[in-house]
Amino acid sequence: MATRAYPAVSSRQQDADRLAYSEADVRRMLVDAASRETVSTIRLGGDIILTRPILLDAADYNVVVDGGGKYGFRCA
């Protein structure tokens, strides 16, 4: 899994940041985010092509997806 490296003194939010390059990365990170009690940020490292929908129940996820104004999701 592609994750961003932070020093041992990083904050909890930095620990929650993940860098995704593929649909598989995003799906794996969403499962991980559902088990966290802090906000998780998934940063996109490129356009992600979805082969099937991702349905998020707001009650189960506290996630921010950030494409940095450059990247997003596309359907296959």
How confident is the model at residue 16, as a pLDDT? 56
Residue that wins the pLDDT comparison between 48 and 1:
48
pLDDT at 13 over 60: no
Q: What is the pLDDT averaged over residues 54-66? A: 75
- Give residue-wise pLDDT tens across range 15-56: 557 888 999 998 888 888 777 777 778 888 889 888 988 887
Q: DSSP string spanning 3-62? A: -----TT--HHHHHEEEE-SHHHHHHHHHHHHT-SS-EEEEESS-EEESS-----TTT--
CA distances from 40 to 4, 9, 71, 74, 76 (A): 13, 18, 18, 22, 26
Backbone angles phi, psi at 49, to 5 degrees: -100, 115
